[in-house]
Amino acid sequence: MSTDTNKRDYRLTGPESKIALEKGLVAAEWYISLVPRKRLKELMKRRNGPAIRDTILWFCALAGTGFLACWTWGTWWAIPAFALYGIVYSSPADSRWHECGHGTAFKTPWMNEVVYQIASFMSLRPATPWRWSHTRHHTDTIIVGRDPEIVAPRPPVWRIILMDFFRLYGGPKDIRRMIMHCFGKLDEEEREYIPRSEFSKACWESRVYVLLFIGIISWCIVTKSFLPAMLIGLPSFYGAFLVLVFGMTQHLGLNEDVLDHRLNTRTIYMNPIFRFLYWNMNYHIEHHMFPMIPYHALPALHEEMKDDCPPPCRSLWSAIKEVVTALVRQGKDPTYTIERTLPATARPYGFGNDDKTTGGVTYAGS
């Protein structure tokens, strides 16, 4: 397969979608590490305790940093205070949205759903469209033309990456879609992965979100202050920094169009604070290979699988350095892919196609 230019078409509605299908990359069978069923069953076990504890901690941290932010409002101290509040608001909202979307955080289904809805609003990810987008991401992880959650194309568009440190690209896109939903319309890409039966739910959710935003704006007008919006709504933007940093480390720089998560996903060792904010999604190969394992059991799953996986990055900083270096190189050579050697104990990579460097993709000029 070759494309006409150096750039591939990452749209779900473009020609790459059909090509992926022809190459057998759509809803394909993926490599899975061997973990005994008995052990998997132990790890899959659902519990309410860890997620209730972490949710209480999160809301307490929000209340504390929110109080600090309000208290410093009108002074220069408000800048670091709101920066902290924004991170405590946005990063856990994103990871709770994610884990509760899988339904694995809590044992009790309604608890997953309640936190999912709250976190979806806080992270500005409309609940139903993003549930289906993420389902597709798990079916066709980093398959070009199929996965709607590829953070950056090859070559990367730095303007979009830089804008998204404050959610200035993804945020307005979601708001535009929400407004469309209010009028009963879904955009072309969304129609690719959301089933018809869910359209009206998506539309009603967006109407509720928009009403909530109107409420916040009205509150600002009545109080003649930005403060309400700085506490609810705007943190999805000004607090998004760490969400993007975490998100960039998940797959960027690694292979596209392969059927083995060890080739396109990155596991990173992180400190306990980051792991709390991110709900252990630093164990990302593990999560993709076994999405039914709850976040609190991922470190134990990592121990079971690590001999079958490439060595994890030693820290968030080393992962980011690796990603940025790869993106810079992909700017000049879109075929550049980080290669990671498996330990001797691992089974070979399952590329799922013949070309072991670029996922079978030929770039013009390469």
Partner 1 sequence: MPDLEGWIETCAVDDIDEEDVIRFDYGDRTFALYRTEDSEYYATDGYCTHEKFHLADGLVMGNTIECPKHNGRFDYTTGEAKRAPVCVRLQTYPVKIQAGKLFVKIG
Q: Are 305 and 289 in contact (CB under 8 A)?
A: yes
Say whether residue 195 binds partner 1 (CB under 8 A): yes
C-alpha dihedral, 167 to 172 to 177 to 181, nearest 10°: 110
Nearer to partner 1, 30 or 166 (CB): 30
Q: Would the CA dihedral through 307, 309, 314, 316 be positive or negative? A: negative
DSSP secondary structure of 72-128: HTTSTTHHHHHHHHHHHHHHHHHHHHHHHHHT-S-SSHHHHHHHHHHHHHHTT--HH
Bond before 334 cis per omega within 30 degrees: no
Which one of residues 27, 162, 212, 217 is an interface residue with partner 1 (CB under 8 A)?
Answer: 27
Which x/- pattern, by CB under 8 A, does the window 116-135 give for partner 1? ---------------xx--x
Per CB under 8 A, contacts with partner 1 among 276-305 are 290-292
Distance between CA atoms of 182 and 200, rounded to whole angstroms? 10
Which one of residues 75, 197, 341, 345 is an interface residue with partner 1 (CB under 8 A)?
Answer: 197
Say whether residue 109 binds partner 1 (CB under 8 A): yes
Say whether residue 104 binds partner 1 (CB under 8 A): yes
Which one of residues 48, 72, 139, 315 is an interface residue with partner 1 (CB under 8 A)?
Answer: 139
Say whether residue 272 binds partner 1 (CB under 8 A): no
E strand intervals along 171-225: none
Say whether residue 341 binds partner 1 (CB under 8 A): no
Number of residues interacting with partner 1: please give it, by CB under 8 A: 19
Nearest to 2 by CA among 351, 336, 335: 335
Which one of residues 7, 11, 46, 207 is an interface residue with partner 1 (CB under 8 A)?
Answer: 46
Binding site for partner 1 (CB under 8 A): 27, 41, 44, 46, 102-104, 109, 131-132, 135, 138-139, 195, 197-198, 290-292
